[in-house]
Chain A
Amino acid sequence: MSTPVLSIPVILGTTRHGHMSGYAAQFMRDQIAKRNGVETELIDIGTMAIPTTDAGEAIKDAAFSFAMMRADALVLVVPEYNHGYPGFLKHVLDTNLKEYIHKAVGICGVSAGGFGGTRVIQNLLPVMRELGLVTIFWDVNFSSVQNVFDAAGTLLDQSFLTRSEKFLNELVWMAKVLRHGRENVALA
């Protein structure tokens, strides 16, 4: 379970079909996969059959919980819906707690407009904190996402290579530090 390799899954935080967020999530997964000493996977919450009639531990998805336990950091790729985050994403995230504590998280906002999901990122920050996750200070903002990727998902705006690199440099650093802390530094 615990190896020198860092695990950084990407969570695609929407259930809607035909979304461009999927391209953004695939792009982030591919950028992580290029790094030595890091493994990743794409977790699409749209494929998860979690009941909506209960909450928390009672409806845990075993595969998702295992991925969260194994993770050293998370990347959330989240579209902005009416200035907020998709409700099902919150529902899914709330099914776990211990799996998140003292782990790093970075958020990528996605929007068709010019703000790049800045408002959904701001709205997610207190949620991340309450879940015990540690947020980094870099974001990736996929503004006007229809201009960032073509209809086949090919990256059109090469600046996102640099943006994602800065974001991931910080996330990996935080993931390493927090892993050392979780495993070696006792609470006073």
Chain B
Amino acid sequence: MQQMMCPRCGAQMNHHAEKVEFSSVRDGLTATDRTLDGILQNVYACPNCGGIEMRRVS
């Protein structure tokens, strides 16, 4: 898994969840997205500044 650096403070973020985001957006869905009926997202938290980021699973 590619590391996520915090865009706010530059620290390495912790990947602590995968979450399906149910959305009306249907463009560009991957096979996994279609299987799960939503967009699969990785969720990260920054142990340094508390920032939160979500990045679509590629």
Interface positions of A (Cβ within 8 A of B)? 1-3, 55-56, 69-70, 97-99, 101-102, 130, 132, 181-187
Interface positions of B (Cβ within 8 A of A)? 8, 14-19, 21-24, 41, 43, 45-54
Contact of A2 among B23, B24, B47, B53 (CB under 8 A): B47
Question: How far, in Å, is B26 (CB) from chain A's closest CB?
Answer: 14
Contact of B23 among A56, A99, A186, A187 (CB under 8 A): A56
Q: Which one of B15, B21, B45 has the greatest number of beta carbons of chain A within 10 Å?
A: B45
- A182 close to B49 (CB less than 8 A): no
Interface SS of B by simple majority:
strand
Tell me how many residue pairs across A and B have CB atoms closer than 8 Å: 61
- A69 close to B47 (CB less than 8 A): no
Contact of A98 among B22, B41, B49 (CB under 8 A): B41
Question: How far, in Å, is A57 (CB) from chain B's closest CB?
Answer: 9
Residues of A within 8 A of B21 (CB): 97
- A181 close to B49 (CB less than 8 A): no
Contact of B16 among A97, A99, A186 (CB under 8 A): A186
- A187 close to B15 (CB less than 8 A): yes
Contact of B17 among A1, A56, A70, A102 (CB under 8 A): A102
Residues of B within 8 A of A70 (CB): 50
Contact of B54 among A55, A98, A130, A187 (CB under 8 A): A98
